[in-house]
Amino acid sequence: MLPILHFSRPASDRQLPATLPFSLRHDPLPAGRQFHLHDLQRGYAVGTARSVTANHRIEAFPWVELSLVEAGTLHVEGDDFALSAGPGEVLIVPRGSNVRWRHDGELRRIFMVFNGQAAERPMPAQPVKIDPAATLEPCNPPAASVLLTDTPTAHSNTQFKSGGCLRIGLWECTPYARKQVEPDYTELMVFYEGAVGFDTPTGGRFDVAAGEAILIPAGATNAWRNDVTVKKLFCILS
Q: What is the pTM of this model?
A: 0.96
pLDDT of residue 64: 96
pLDDT of residue 122: 84
C-beta of residue 231 within 8 angstroms of C-beta of residue 14: no
Which DSSP letter does residue 147 get?
B
pLDDT of residue 24: 93
Residue 166 — φ and ψ, nearest 5°? -120, 125
Find all residues with CB under 8 Å of 87, minimum gap 6, and list them.
69, 70, 71, 72
Q: Which residues of the chain have pLDDT under 70?
A: 118-121
C-beta of residue 173 within 8 angstroms of C-beta of residue 144: no
pLDDT of residue 219: 97
Single out the residue of 129, 126, 115 nearest to residue 163, CA to CA: 115
156-202 pLDDT, tens digit each:
999 999 978 999 999 999 999 999 999 999 999 999 999 999 999 99
CB under 8 A, 24+ apart: contacts of 141-148 = 141/173, 141/176, 142/173, 142/176, 142/178, 146/178, 146/179, 146/181, 147/176, 147/177, 147/178, 147/179, 148/176, 148/177, 148/178, 148/179
Instruction: Give all domains of the chain, ordered by start, each with its CATH number.
Output: 5-129 (2.60.120.10), 137-237 (2.60.120.10)
